[in-house]
Chains A and B, each alone.
Chain A
Amino acid sequence: MTARRVRFILGIVLAVGFVGRIVAARLGPVLYPDAYFQSLEPAWTRVTGEGMKTWEWTDGLRSWVLPGYHGAWMALGRSLGLRGSTIGEMIRLSWGLLSMFMVWAAWRAGASCARQLRPRHPCCACGHLVFDQPAPMGFVGDAPPAGWQGGLVAAFLMATFPLLALYSVEPLTELPSMIVLIVAFALVAEQTELDPREGKGRAVIIGTLLSLAVCLRIVNGALVLLPAIWLAARHRWRDLAILAGTALVPVALFGIVDRLTWGHFFGSFLAFIKFNIIQGRAAEFGTEPATWYLAGIWARLPIGLAILVLPAICGLRATWPFVLSAAGLLGYISTQAHKEERFALLFWPFLLIAAGTVLGHWLFSRAPPSNGGAAPSRLRRWLTRAKQLVIVAGMLAVVVDGARHLRQFDFDISHARLDGQAWVARQKNATGLLLDWHFYTGATVWFGRDLPQVKYEPELLSNRLFSHVLAGKGSSVDSQARRAGFVPKFDRHAIVVLERSR
């Protein structure tokens, strides 16, 4: 395969992945009210003065870094005259775009791991196995990097796995943490291939990214151990020292932000640890059995899971950091009483990279020559073709199986609810909006107008301040509003917006 063709296929994979994320951003459901009330609402409240304050923001349990990031785009969007819903949709789409870094990381990590799968022979002088040939890490002339096979398949799986596409547009803390962690793992994979005297700059980036991933999501702290072990196994002590030093930069940044916003260095970090770990109060939000994540993963991919797990384990020689990370994450979060699917989301990129590496290695491996070096026999060639067909079918099965089981989320909100809010915001005669279930909306951002948007109470129907009601079609709120003189004006996917008629 020429470098040009590999680049072309990689470009197509990236394009397909991005289109999938656009579809997810626009048509997919909204997952988790937390994505809106923890990340966007505080920022929107600061920008406009309108919004709700959830208990985490009263108790100082969250860092202002992520709302600060979103708030900057919101303030800019508002000053350019953009509507709240437009800003919200752009933020979702921007996360989808940023998540494409994971596809790039899968390409690099898959190629790096696939290079570890190439043939080795015993080295008499040094006493261990060495590779037969050197493997170029980048494009050289018309030759693609060695291991491109694993890279392409890993990138394909990462780009097309439907669950990841759906989650990739949600402004949850899990998402940025996952993106930077996967990119860091890809860089570590390549780092281990370099001469120990090389890669100082890369080590700086790795340290910053790993630390950032943990600062964004403290629970991911345990996963930083794997890259450290990986580097230590290759005796890259200097890299480890650089990594430890640069890791302090994001930590200091988060600490200073906490000092400026909550009044104490690491105030939100300490409050989070106290609430979740010392007091164990996350369990107040529900507990699940230890096997809950396993059952959930199985339910998401009943056929495809075996297609991913088997090759990942077969290639353990190269994929062990990814397989161990996936298993370690699952094991750790299963010990926690409170469980949500988003906590286990990181399991999938690790597994997809590990499986893609080996599937790609198998897919593009040529039929071995016959004895004596002659061209492989026709039978061998056919067997190779059949093997390739089975692998491609398996890859497609993973994508189709994943798409067929995109239901029964912990919390999902029909996008029509957000569209309903945005529709009311566009009405010139709107003076106030009542929401049947205010946590299951796009928060105040999607309404985006300087008008009251409050939780529905039957008594409020007689308050003429409220010109519109958003409710589930056929719900008790819908019928109560109709009886009070409201008429439906917006009807989409079981969501109805009613307008006061008299």
Chain B
Amino acid sequence: MSVVGRVWARRRTVAFALAGVLVIAWSTGFFLFVRRQAVAVVAFPTLEAHPAGEHNLVAYRLGTTVRVSSFFRDPFSQHNPGYLVDGRTNPTLVEKWASDPGDRHPWVELLWSGKRQVRSVVIRHAGTVESADFTSQEYSLWCLQARPVPPPVVVTDNHAPVAVHALACSGARGVRVRFVPNRPGQIVRIFEIEVWGR
């Protein structure tokens, strides 16, 4: 009997085996799907090396990765997290990161390759382009994976549209900013974040 003939003779077994493999594969995928946390990531390719002197560590061309807890993803006005590091000096209203209205604890992480020394963080809030009411007032900043672990910078009553915060740490691989929405249900709007260091 040929190979085809033998397979045909055992077609029920073959069909059950195939179905079993598919079910196992799908179940594995479903397990991974359910476990996923909806964290948006924008990972830029490295187009330039970090310069030697002090510079903005999170310029997108340096291969920055931006992680956010959520973003405003209305089809007609997407406020992608990539806008946080686009280096635009005169952005339009669209070119900002905005959190999802349902996100009660919005946060942003800006990550770079290697260990870097951080000196300060500049945040261009909503007030630079739109109403000052939207400027985030309460947030805190952390260095990620820095040694020794520095205390976070906690901001409780910010009104500056461009806020400059001293955040000194060495050996850091990124910076994290956690926001508290000004009012429940209000979204956080940030046009740009710069992390200065070397």
Contact = CB atoms under 8 A, between A and B. Distances in A.
Interface of A: 37, 43, 45-54, 68-69, 71-77, 79, 428-432, 438-439, 450-452, 454-455, 457, 459-460, 463-465
B28 interface: yes
B75 A54 contact: yes
Contact of B73 (A51, A72, A439): A51
A465 B32 contact: no
Contact of A451 (B30, B38, B43): B43
B164 interface: no
A455 B83 contact: no
Contacts of A47: 33, 36
Contacts of B82: 431-432, 451-452, 465
B19 interface: no
Contacts of A460: 92, 94-95
B75 A457 contact: no
Taking each of A43, A46, A49, A459, which has the highest tally of chain B beta carbons within 10 Å of its own beta carbon?
A49
A430 B30 CA distance: 31
Given A75-B32, A465-B83, 16 more contacts: A43-B33, A49-B38, A50-B42, A53-B74, A72-B27, A74-B33, A429-B45, A430-B45, A431-B45, A431-B60, A451-B44, A452-B83, A455-B76, A459-B94, A460-B94, A465-B82
Contacts, number: 106
A53 B94 CA distance: 17
A260 to B, nearest CB: 10
Contacts of B30: 68, 71-72, 75
B16 to A, nearest CB: 16
B127 interface: no
B80 A452 contact: yes
B107 to A, nearest CB: 13
Nearest to A71: B33
B42 A452 contact: yes
Interface of B: 25-30, 32-33, 36, 38-45, 47, 60-61, 73-76, 78, 80-83, 86-88, 91-92, 94-95
26 contacts: A46-B36, A46-B38, A47-B33, A47-B36, A49-B38, A49-B39, A52-B73, A52-B78, A72-B26, A72-B28, A72-B29, A72-B30, A76-B29, A76-B32, A429-B47, A431-B60, A431-B61, A452-B80, A452-B81, A452-B82, A452-B83, A454-B80, A459-B92, A460-B92, A464-B87, A465-B60
Given A74-B33, A438-B75, A450 B43 contact: yes
B78 A455 contact: yes
A68 B33 contact: yes
B175 to A, nearest CB: 19
Contacts of A429: 45, 47
Contact of A48 (B41, B78, B80): B41
Given A459-B92, A460-B95, A49 B29 contact: no
Contacts of A463: 86, 88, 91, 95
B36 A75 contact: yes
Nearest to A57: B73
B86 A464 contact: yes
A76 B28 contact: yes
B40 A50 contact: yes
A69 B26 CA distance: 8
Contacts of A457: 92, 94
Contact of A455 (B36, B75, B86): B75
Contacts of B36: 46-47, 75
B33 A75 contact: yes
Contacts of A451: 42-44, 82
A352 to B, nearest CB: 26
B41 A49 contact: yes
Given A46-B33, A428-B45, A465 B86 contact: yes
Contacts of A450: 41-43
A293 to B, nearest CB: 29
Taking each of A46, A48, A50, which has the highest tally of chain B beta carbons within 10 Å of its own beta carbon?
A50
Contacts of B78: 52, 454-455
A113 B75 CA distance: 49
A450 B60 CA distance: 13
A266 B47 CA distance: 50
Nearest to A67: B33
